[in-house]
Amino acid sequence: MRKIRVLAAKPGLDGHDRGVKVIAAALRDAGMEVIYTGLRQTPEQIVNTAMQEDVDVIALSILSGAHDYLFPEVMKLVKEKGLDDVLVLGGGVIPESDVPAMKQVGVADIFGPGTATGKIVEYIEQNVKRK
Amino acid sequence: MSSFAEQLASWQARLDKSLAKHPERKKEFSTISGLPVERLYLPASPDQAYAGNLGLPGEFPYTRGVQPTMYRGRLWTMRQYAGFATAAESNRRYRYLLEQGQTGLSVAFDLPTQIGYDADHQLAQGEVGKVGVSISSLKDMETLFAGIPLDKVSTSMTINAPAAVLLAMYIAVAEGQGVKAEALRGTIQNDILKEYSSRGTYIFPPKPSMRIITNIFAYCAAEVPQWNTISISGYHIREAGSTAVQEVAFTLANGMAYVQAAIKAGLKVDDFGPRLSFFFNAHSDFLEEVAKYRAARRLWARIMRERFGAQDPRSLMVRFHTQTAGCSLTAQQPKNNIVRVAFQAMSAVLGGTQSLHTNSMDEALALPTQEAVTIALRTQQIIGYETGVTDTVDPLAGAYYIEHLTDEIEKRAGEYIERIDQMGGAVEAVEQGFIQREIQEAAYEYQKAVESGARVVVGVNQFVTQEPPPQDILRVDPKVRLEQMEALKKLRAQRDGQAVQKGLAALKAAAQGEDNLMPHILSCVKAYATLGEICDTLRGVFGEYQAPTTI
């Protein structure tokens, strides 16, 4: 069976990458293949990388408050490029009250501060759409 | 060599003289129960090891603090990092904080500003005004400090890659108020090396970045002598996941790289050394943190004296700002954060900080509300005015555990610095990804310890309760960007376009040559060239940094 492929991505100008790197390491230790984009990615760059790398999951991380603009932008491109079967997750400092709007544009779920990495591993394993 | 008794007598004599001019906060200090409190407590018979490793406050190696009276003379500067949305809104919060008894300002800029993009740049979409105030030109800076006399406050600006531009704007605003540059007091962070390793708001590659920094050192030594030209920051290194030892090691290694670059550029160590300042994190391991600040002071003093030949005592001192650990705050049961912050702040005070920011309880959720900011400031005031820890110098000195930790942190940080030396210094260590890897490994280890339960985080992996998410959080209106874009359009139409072009052309020529860039940046700023235009001009000459990705 093919390993689950995950793109860990930092959209926007936010430089906080502790969380995304910890999660990347945890997913890797759980047997997934992880590609990390590095900082300052535009939505176009992220979606293009996702296509090139043929990933099953995109994990977005933002702590700057710009998720309200950037997550919908990423999702718009995900749909345009026909990546509907890619599971997209969000994490970072994202107020609970913003979560419904993020889910509405197609982000599967949001994982806030204090989430155990094991919970994310389990979520991906259970919800990944491509098999 | 003089005996410790002679050293003490001479210290006392100098102190008496300065106390006659600048007395302490009170004539006599006593505990709540009326027991007298002395300025300084010493071992019964100080030996040579004591004299060499701890000594006297205000004297080499500064383990016991950088001033002889510490907080008996004056409390630390209570400086809350703030800024969001527009300059006008941030200006209102600054005035509010000053009215509440805050004693210095600390400006948070939004990410486009920190990365040198104007608010109307494409990459600024979704980011304008979010994590700080949006500043695109001198116009915004004038609004930001309207009604705040710049000769009376000290201002710290968290700005790195474009620090020269924001400092130039500050100087220009002061000039408009009739305040001379030599009267200005404050700090620019201006610490690019930790941006590459930990914080991410870099623009240019290391070499031209180091040049801009040494240009600032030289310019300020001549023109803005009271300004702290850099705040060498361990804060973000720790936030990115480092240990306390790594925080000290990587911060001081970065500091050494700046000193080396400035000396190489022809500056004398005692001309710029006194204006170097530091910035540390206050994390949750209370006694380790107290020891960390003491170890950092001693290690830096030794490095500056032994390696760089500094002689001015002010070049040897680690004067530092502290902020409580944002990464220790939990989104779960957020009121518990008030208690965490209080302990962390207390550790910074027991470690001898010169200024302090206390985080607000809601920062794991969003930008802090006014109520949360006020409680955070009150926490400092309670420590300063109620707890009594400010009444004697370095109160934990001599505790076996504290002195052991101080020695141990100094030793282990020194070993790291040796390894970095062998790589060729901090610039090389960052370019090779060494510092980034060390930090992320420590971060992952910490996370695993939390998840296995080996490390308890109250409300997260133990004592968990279900609770509704807080409703009252601060939001930045997305129309802030549209307003800023409109204002920029107006500015570009109204200013003298020729003066702007002339200024930018001169800046470009200077960047290609070897002139100090500061006077050119100041001319551009005064002609209302925007931050983005100035940084684009420099991008054209210097290029942009391409980060290696390490996971």
Instruction: Name the residue facing B440 among A13, A21, A95 (closest C-beta).
Output: A21
Locus of tokens 């001192």: B317
The two structure tokens encoding residue B529 = 């060239």
Instruction: Name the residue facing A93 among B199, B365, B476 (closest C-beta).
Output: B365
Instruction: Name the residue facing B125 among A26, A69, A118 (closest C-beta).
Output: A69
Q: What is the pLDDT of residue A131?
A: 60
Question: Could A16 and B200 be called an inter-chain contact, meaning their C-beta atoms sit closer than 8 Å?
Answer: yes
SS3 call for B452: helix
The answer to whether the CB of B80 falls within 8 A of the CB of B356 is no
Instruction: Name the residue facing B131 among A17, A65, A116 (closest C-beta).
Output: A65
Task: Give B195's contacts in chain A (Cβ within 8 Å).
Answer: 15
Tally A–B CB contacts below 8 A. Answer: 107
The answer to whether the CB of B269 falls within 8 A of the CB of B315 is yes
Residues 6+ apart with CB under 8 A from B532: B116, B117, B118, B121, B136
- Whole-angstrom Cα distance, residue B206 to residue A85? 41
ipTM for this model: 0.93
- Interface check A49 vs B, CB under 8 A: no
Report the predicted TM-score, pTM, of the whole model to 2 decimal places. 0.95
The answer to whether the CB of B155 falls within 8 A of the CB of B144 is no
**DSSP structural state of residue B279:** E
Cβ neighbours, 10 Å, residue B539: 16
Best of A6, A18, A29, A97 to mutate (most B CBs within 10 Å, chain B): A18
Look at chain B and count its residues.
551
The two structure tokens encoding residue B381 = 């005031």
What's the one-letter identity of residue A87? L
Best of A6, A10, A14, A17 to mutate (most B CBs within 10 Å, chain B): A17
- Whole-angstrom Cα distance, residue B433 to residue B519? 35
Distance from CA of B140 to the nearest CA of A (A): 21
- Interface check A56 vs B, CB under 8 A: no
The answer to whether the CB of B438 falls within 8 A of the CB of B242 is yes
Residues 6+ apart with CB under 8 A from B13: none
Q: What is the pLDDT of residue B368?
A: 86
Reduce the secondary structure of B351-364 to three states and give it as a string: CCCCEEECCCCCCC
Q: Which contiguous run of DSSP H or E holds residue B355?
A: strand B355-357
Nearest CA-CA partner of B272 in B280, B264, B282: B264
Residues 6+ apart with CB under 8 A from B116: B161, B162, B165, B203, B531, B532, B534, B535, B536, B539
Residue in B closest to A66 by C-alpha: B126
Pick out chain B residues at pLDDT < 70: 1-2, 550
The answer to whether the CB of B504 falls within 8 A of the CB of B529 is yes
- Whole-angstrom Cα distance, residue B493 to residue B500? 12
pLDDT digits (tens, 9 = 90+) for B244-298: 999 999 999 999 999 999 999 999 999 999 999 999 999 999 999 999 999 999 9
Distance from CA of A85 to the nearest CA of B (A): 26
Q: What is the pLDDT of residue B471?
A: 72
Q: Which of residues 5-24 of A touch B (CB under 8 A)?
A: 8, 12-18, 21-22, 24
Best of B109, B110, B111 to mutate (most A CBs within 10 Å, chain A): B111
SS3 call for B471: coil
Q: What is the pLDDT of residue A10?
A: 97
Question: Could B115 and A25 be called an inter-chain contact, meaning their C-beta atoms sit closer than 8 Å?
Answer: no
SS3 call for B164: helix
Task: Give B471's contacts in chain A (Cβ within 8 Å).
Answer: 97
Pick out chain A residues at pLDDT < 50: none
Question: Could A116 and B125 be called an inter-chain contact, meaning their C-beta atoms sit closer than 8 Å?
Answer: no
Half-sphere exposure of residue B249: CA atoms within 13 angstroms, side-chain side: 25
- Whole-angstrom Cα distance, residue B222 to residue B227? 11
- Residue B545 buriedness (CB in 10 A; 0-12 / 13-18 / 19+): middle
Which residues sit opposite B474 in a β-bridge?
A: B367
Question: Could B447 and A22 be called an inter-chain contact, meaning their C-beta atoms sit closer than 8 Å?
Answer: yes
- Whole-angstrom Cα distance, residue B484 to residue B503? 23
CA distances from B373 to A69, A104, B45, B310, B368 (A): 27, 33, 46, 40, 6
Locus of tokens 């930092």: A10
Question: Could B367 and A65 be called an inter-chain contact, meaning their C-beta atoms sit closer than 8 Å?
Answer: yes
- Whole-angstrom Cα distance, residue B413 to residue B419? 10
The answer to whether the CB of B204 falls within 8 A of the CB of B542 is yes
Q: What is the pLDDT of residue B365?
A: 84
The two structure tokens encoding residue B102 = 């805050």
Q: Given CA atoms B267, B273, B279, B282 in this order, what sign does their dihedral have? A: positive
Distance from CA of B204 to the nearest CA of A (A): 14
Question: Could A69 and B126 be called an inter-chain contact, meaning their C-beta atoms sit closer than 8 Å?
Answer: yes
